[in-house]
Chain A
Amino acid sequence: MQKAIVFSIEEFSVYDGPGIRTTVFLKGCPMRCNWCHNPEGFEPRVQVVKNLNGCERCGACKAVCPSPGACILCGRCISACPKNLIRFSGKEYTAEGLASKLLKNADYLKKCGGGVTFTGGECLLYADFLIAIIAMLKGEKTHTAIQTCGFADERKFKAVVSAVDYVMFDLKVMDRQEAIRYTGCDNAPILKNFRNLCAGGTPFVVRVPLIPGVTDTKKNLQAIADLVKDSPALGAELLPYNKMAGSKYRLVGKKYSPIFDQTAEPNIDTEIFIKAGIPVKVL
């Protein structure tokens, strides 16, 4: 039985593919993009997270903890918190269980030209799960999409991409050294998978986060445009950096430490793409 850890399911998402969609966030990511806004997606396991807003340090959670310093996910602190500020992040689903939950809204999704989008974290961490659930959803005539960073085993990447109806593929940092510096990963496998994506017949768009001084430079955007213009991509979607990116770190007990100038306004340069003949929109 295929299983995956889900940390959020969002109904009525409007920017994650065609039509009205339900977006499933799978937990765990091989990359550590320096600007990541969703640290809940880092670890591929269930965690206990604490919302410190409103916490009065009453100590009730600590008092019941049987294993301080090494969480055993017993959930006692969750029940103990008088203000309900503690919760699990992540819930394990079987492909069958998640599919049947998602299919409860299938009638609406179909009517609105939408479907289900899997994202993360990095959804391809659960490639076998995806292949199983995509088959179940498509069996019920529900459109499927993935949003991926492309950093994945080639064989699995190809298998998922050939199963799914639509792909949103991230292109972030084109320079190899810079990519390692800012995302914690070599971009060679990503570019390889991009070529795999182009070779397959699945419709896709390219997504580019615009991070000030990192991805939004003329050089980087031009490199992306050069790569995309000769590809079968339907277009490019630009996501300008938002200064809210750090807001969830405290929840997972981490500190947000950007190494770029996050006060700078992102360079929303659609011209480069237009000149290259690539349909572009800003999300």
Chain B
Amino acid sequence: MTERIRKIYERLKKKEYRKLRNADEFLLSDSVYDEKDLALRSAFRLAEAAKAERAVLFAEDRIGMMRTIGKIPKLLRKEEAENLYRGRFVFDGGQVCNISSDYAGILSDGFLKKRKQIRGQLPRYERGSKEYNELAAMDICIDAVETIAEKYRQEAERMGISELAEALKNVPMHRPRSYYEALVMLRILNFTLWLNANKHNTLGRFDVYMYPFFKADLQSGRLDREKALELTSEFFIDLNFDSDLYPGEQQGDNGQSLVLGGIGTDGKDVFNELSEICLEASLSLNLIDPKLNIRVGKNTPDEIFYKGTLLTKQGLGFPQYSNDDVVIPALIKMGYDEQDARNYVVAACWEFIIPGVAYDIPNIDAFSYPQAVLKVLNEKLESCASFDDLMHALKEEIARRCREMAEATKNIFVEPSPFQSILMSGCIERARDIAEGGKYNNYGFHGAGLSTAADSLAAVRKLIYDDKAMTPAQLLEALRKNFEGFEGVRKACVDAPKMGNNDDYVDKIAAELTEYFADGLSGLRNERGGIFRAGTGSAMYYIWYSESLGATPDGRKAGEPFSANYSPSLNAKSEGVLSVIHSFTKPRLERVCNGGPLTLEFHDTLFRNEEGTKKVARLVKLFVESGGHQLQLNAINREALLDAQKHPEAHKNLIVRVWGWSGYFNELDPVYQEHIIKRLEFEQAG
């Protein structure tokens, strides 16, 4: 880290810059709300926000930018929203979000070219028509971007930061002339998207769309690797300055994901020197943004896995890995063009989306496997003569639920977002807002609680059908009573086979369930002509759905959570990570490829030397070779251990490895638990 970067980093950590924000709430003038056309209103809102923003720079900034106005007001007044929403399906605030802009396109064009395009289109439409308003709104948004850039140019000039002032004479209106200018432009885009109240602003394939600028600079000798690392680091830090203002569910859930590596549109691996610089910058900064994703495949060199693992060691929970060998063919099967499929990125969390062209809503709802299982057990267990009969009934229920969920997405309402539309390919040409759809308009459903459902069915199969250890009525009664007074039943349930132990008895049931889910959605169309994609993620639904769900036959008591995403249940004691990988690569993942990672947790002592780190990297590669689609690794840190002390039941598999041995964290004397925590405190302070 250079001295200049250290200064910026310390400014971020001290948080004092936040005092420079306006104390007053940012409010829109009434005239904005008077505008009936929502595209125009959105543009007016952005224009007022741009006007209200003050440029703030510090002497050490070369890119900079920070928000000075607070939360951006909603586009609709309360009563207006109530009227508009009536009878409509409104998802996540009714805004365009969680998509990936066509950064490559805008960086190669600059906004001036876009403006020309828009103004060229305008005369084709009648004044006041929807199309005319959309184009006019886009035009206003470009003025707003120009306003912001100009404010920063003047401030840079006043402060004597001539490099930045010079860059801002060119970008964002013209194509960047250097890697540096491209970074400045990307920062303006990112800044403006947040100012435009877009949430979940992904950064896409940074090492693809920035590479031409980087490479040209290296070749001309204008830039060297050190300087590129410094500038990239600055850009990464800048992405963190306004995190507290972003309107996500939880702080950190802001979707600033960035994708590295993977197959390019030409079929060749794109991992390059810039990808390495990104990994290196992230490694030295230890910040939560941007959240790095690495696209890998069976041909990915070991070195990339190793570098990724060094980052895992930091304990931030990324990089997340996506397996091109599974994801690309899956996307093609879903109907994406090969070029687009090869270009996939990761949305806010882990959903696979296509930058620049798709307005997919990959998180529009979540299916709860355990809910379906419990419903079928309650209604049909006593009448099903065989386990096959039960599974058949479940297949029907899942299909019914899929249709019901698909139906519920109809009549969707999404606010227009003219600024985002400029950044999506085809919107200007069609004079149509991205809110109304893109080249792809697919919806995705998460699949929450798979392991809880599979474990439950395995217990039913074993206890009712195979061993005949109890009657259906006894089991159902125990579930209704939340196992109270049925401790013996619960013990038998807990001891039944669990997913994550490489045991076909239960793993095959899980694989079957994913097929039912995929089959249930297959053939359904949404009102935009898109398909419904089945997934393996849970988002926050593993809490939401579990809270209201009664006890399940895997031994889970009412209200206890499912596992997050695609992972073994918290109630299951697992044989270990190799067995987990075996179990979780058995389903045909290309059929449930909306996104959603297997999550593995490792104690950070596993990474304590190069040998250990290399072996973890090898394990990641093993997952990829085995046909896993997505993987997230966590190095367990102090916070997790503190939580384990308070909630030991939720951390049964937390293994602490110290010296040549290991033990379950829960079993250690409290004095030693404290010791580990303190030691981590010490290590992490460094």
Q: Which A residues are within 8 Å of any B CB, using their own CB?
A: 9-16, 19-20, 22, 37-38, 51, 53-54, 79, 104-105, 108-109, 111-112, 207, 239-248, 250-251, 281-283
Task: State whether A38 and B648 are in contact (beta carbons under 8 Å apart), knowing that A105-B582, A112-B619 are contacts in the complex.
Answer: no
Q: Is the CB of A54 within 8 A of B622?
A: no
Task: State whether A15 and B611 are in contact (beta carbons under 8 Å apart), knowing that A104-B582, A112-B619 are contacts in the complex.
Answer: yes
Q: Which B residues are within 8 Å of any A CB, using their own CB?
A: 487-488, 491, 502, 575-579, 581-582, 606, 609, 611-612, 615-616, 618-619, 622, 625-626, 648, 658-663, 666-673, 675-676
Measured between beta carbons, the chain A residues less than 8 angstroms from B615 are 12, 14, 19-20, 112
Q: Is the CB of A105 within 8 A of B579?
A: yes
Of A9, A112, A247, the contact of B575 (CB 8 Å cutoff): A9
C-alpha spacing A12/B575, complex, angstroms: 10
Min CB–CB distance B482 → chain A (angstroms): 14
Tell me which of A11, A247, A282 has the highest count of chain B C-beta atoms within 10 A of its own C-beta: A247
Tell me which of A20, A37, A244, A282 has the highest count of chain B C-beta atoms within 10 A of its own C-beta: A244
Measured between beta carbons, the chain B residues less than 8 angstroms from A14 are 606, 611-612, 615-616
With A11-B575, A241-B659, A251-B667 already in contact, 12 other A-B pairs whose C-beta atoms are closer than 8 Å: A11-B576, A11-B579, A12-B577, A14-B615, A16-B660, A37-B661, A79-B491, A111-B625, A244-B659, A244-B672, A246-B672, A248-B663
Of A51, A109, A244, the contact of B675 (CB 8 Å cutoff): A244
Min CB–CB distance A56 → chain B (angstroms): 13
Min CB–CB distance A48 → chain B (angstroms): 14
Provide 20 A-B residue pairs closer than 8 Å at the C-beta atoms, listed in order of the A residue: A10-B662, A11-B576, A11-B579, A14-B606, A14-B615, A19-B618, A38-B661, A53-B668, A53-B669, A54-B666, A79-B491, A104-B579, A108-B582, A111-B625, A207-B660, A243-B675, A244-B659, A247-B671, A248-B668, A283-B609
Min CB–CB distance A57 → chain B (angstroms): 16
Q: Is the CB of A105 within 8 A of B669?
A: no
Min CB–CB distance B602 → chain A (angstroms): 8
Q: Is the CB of A20 within 8 A of B619?
A: yes
Majority-rule SS of B interface residues: helix
* Residue of B whose beta carbon sits closest to that of A251: B667
Task: State whether A12 and B661 are in contact (beta carbons under 8 Å apart), knowing that A19-B615, A244-B672 are contacts in the complex.
Answer: no
Q: Is the CB of A245 within 8 A of B668?
A: no
* Residue of B whose beta carbon sits closest to that of A41: B661
Min CB–CB distance B22 → chain A (angstroms): 51
Measured between beta carbons, the chain A residues less than 8 angstroms from B619 are 12, 20, 112
* Residue of A whose beta carbon sits closest to that of B613: A14
C-alpha spacing A21/B553, complex, angstroms: 34
Min CB–CB distance B647 → chain A (angstroms): 11
Min CB–CB distance B97 → chain A (angstroms): 38
Min CB–CB distance B422 → chain A (angstroms): 48
Q: Is the CB of A242 within 8 A of B659?
A: yes
Measured between beta carbons, the chain A residues less than 8 angstroms from B582 are 104-105, 108
Min CB–CB distance A140 → chain B (angstroms): 15
Task: State whether A12 and B658 are in contact (beta carbons under 8 Å apart), knowing that A53-B666, A54-B648, A112-B618 are contacts in the complex.
Answer: no
Of B658, B662, B669, the contact of A250 (CB 8 Å cutoff): B669
C-alpha spacing A112/B620, complex, angstroms: 11
> A-B pairs with the 7 shortest C-beta distances?
A11-B576, A247-B672, A14-B615, A242-B659, A105-B578, A247-B668, A11-B578
Measured between beta carbons, the chain A residues less than 8 angstroms from B666 are 51, 53-54
* Residue of A whose beta carbon sits closest to that of B614: A14
C-alpha spacing A283/B673, complex, angstroms: 21
* Residue of A whose beta carbon sits closest to that of B615: A14
C-alpha spacing A239/B660, complex, angstroms: 7
C-alpha spacing A20/B613, complex, angstroms: 11
C-alpha spacing A248/B676, complex, angstroms: 14
* Residue of B whose beta carbon sits closest to that of A38: B661
Measured between beta carbons, the chain B residues less than 8 angstroms from A242 are 658-659
Q: Is the CB of B659 within 8 A of A240?
A: yes
Q: Is the CB of B577 within 8 A of A51?
A: no
Measured between beta carbons, the chain A residues less than 8 angstroms from B611 are 14-15, 281
Tell me which of B615, B658, B673 has the highest count of chain A C-beta atoms within 10 A of its own C-beta: B615
Measured between beta carbons, the chain A residues less than 8 angstroms from B662 are 10, 13
Task: State whether A22 and B578 are in contact (beta carbons under 8 Å apart), knowing that A53-B670, A244-B658 are contacts in the complex.
Answer: yes
Min CB–CB distance B458 → chain A (angstroms): 17
Of B581, B659, B667, the contact of A37 (CB 8 Å cutoff): B659
Measured between beta carbons, the chain B residues less than 8 angstroms from A111 are 622, 625
C-alpha spacing A242/B577, complex, angstroms: 25
Measured between beta carbons, the chain B residues less than 8 angstroms from A281 are 609, 611
C-alpha spacing A281/B669, complex, angstroms: 30
C-alpha spacing A111/B618, complex, angstroms: 9
Min CB–CB distance B658 → chain A (angstroms): 5
C-alpha spacing A248/B663, complex, angstroms: 8
